[in-house]
Amino acid sequence: MKPAPFEYRRADTREEALSLLAEHGEDAEILAGGQSLMPLLAMRLARPAMVIDINRIGGLAGVTEIEDGISVGALTRHREVARDALVARDAPVLAKAVPHIAHHGIRNRGTIGGALSLGDPAAEFPACAVAAGARLVLASAAGTRRIAAADYYLAPFETARGPEDLLVAAEFPADGRGAAVVEAAPRAGDYAIVGLVALARPSGARLRDVELVYFAAGERPNPAPAAAAILAAADDARAALAEAAEAARREVETIATPSASAAVRRHLVGALLGRAVAALFEGARP
């Protein structure tokens, strides 16, 4: 499988990338880690006239402190996200997600900006960003805007990013809650059939401030607020699991794909909730 011909441009500065996108955005794809783009090119599912390589742009990689938390640069590779001290402090859910993302060599190259901007419904980071209330920072020649992750994902591979926009960072408000990322996949590193990002503060038998966002179940990150509310209201979260799982099965959209029927996904939506709750309590142990 070989990609169709395209013109290659390497942007060495952010300004250069934005001006290329302003001129060619409609016909261009952005090359960051390339771990999703390159297969799309090879299979000719994407056929851009131009590929804009942003890997050499300075200042787009790494994690910095901002007023209410951290800003994770778009070119930060998955392996760095997993090892970063600021991520561990303010957005530990990201580090929990990394072992689930593809394979060792792919985590060496893949970037958080690519994973967030692509809008793959089976991807872990978009669900983390929605659960954690992250803001995605989109830059274009016209200026910079921020959009809540919850408003960014419109449909599979369709996002609020315009053709002239470059996702430059994701801002995560400091979140001291415990985090769990669980998923059902045929094999370690495969695409999830269903996955769940859960944030909560375990306290005795209770879970407070619960946030649940499913991924791979439906067409985009799928919050489960009713199930979260049932868990958060219970004196014993584990005793409320059956009721919460039932609520999640009702409120989470489940799709049928060649790898799993909607019924299998509905079953997994409930089953994964139990695993996530167990992991949250496990993580809270001294």
Task: Tell me how crowded residue 19 is: count the other CB atoms within 10 A of its CB.
Answer: 15
Q: Is 3 in the site for other proteins (CB under 8 A)?
A: yes
Quote the CA–CA distance of 281 and 110 in Å, as a whole number.
31
Q: Which is nearer to other proteins, 114 or 270 (CB)?
A: 114
Q: Is 187 in the site for other proteins (CB under 8 A)?
A: yes
Q: Is 68 in the site for other proteins (CB under 8 A)?
A: no
Total chain residues near other proteins (CB under 8 A): 36
Query: What is the nearest approach in angstroms of other proteins to the Cβ of residue 178?
Result: 23
Interface pick for other proteins out of 15, 23, 27, 282 (rule CB under 8 A): 27
Interface pick for other proteins out of 13, 47, 239, 261 (rule CB under 8 A): 47
**Per-residue tokens: 185:** 């996949």
Site for other proteins in 141-170 (CB under 8 A): none
Query: What is the nearest approach in angstroms of other proteins to the Cβ of residue 114?
Result: 12
Site for other proteins in 71-130 (CB under 8 A): 79, 99, 102-106, 108-109
Q: Is 7 in the site for other proteins (CB under 8 A)?
A: yes
Interface pick for other proteins out of 16, 29, 53, 251 (rule CB under 8 A): 53
Q: With residue 172 as reference, give the H or E element that holds it.
A: strand 166-173
- Helices 225-233 and 241-251 pack at an angle, to 10 degrees, of 170
Q: Which is nearer to other proteins, 44 or 250 (CB)?
A: 44
Sign of the CA dihedral running 66, 77, 157, 196: negative
**Binding range to other proteins, per CB under 8 A, among 36-44, 119-127, 176-184, 265-273:** 36-44
Q: Which is nearer to other proteins, 48 or 69 (CB)?
A: 48
Quote the CA–CA distance of 183 and 70 in Å, as a whole number.
26
The residues with which 63 forms a beta bridge, in sequence order, are: 72
Quote the CA–CA distance of 182 and 279 in Å, as a whole number.
8
Q: Which is nearer to other proteins, 41 or 241 (CB)?
A: 41
**Binding range to other proteins, per CB under 8 A, among 27-35, 141-149, 168-176, 248-256:** 27-35
Backbone angles phi, psi at 240, to 5 degrees: -95, 5
The count of residues in the chain is 286
Task: Tell me how crowded residue 207 is: count the other CB atoms within 10 A of its CB.
Answer: 28
Q: Is 12 in the site for other proteins (CB under 8 A)?
A: no
Half-sphere exposure of 23 (CA within 13 A, CB side): 9
Q: With residue 104 as reference, give the H or E element that holds it.
A: helix 104-109
C-alpha 13: how far from chain center: 26
Which residues contact other proteins (rule: CB under 8 A)? 1-8, 10, 26-27, 31, 34-35, 38-39, 41-43, 47, 49, 51, 53, 55, 79, 99, 102-106, 108-109, 187-189
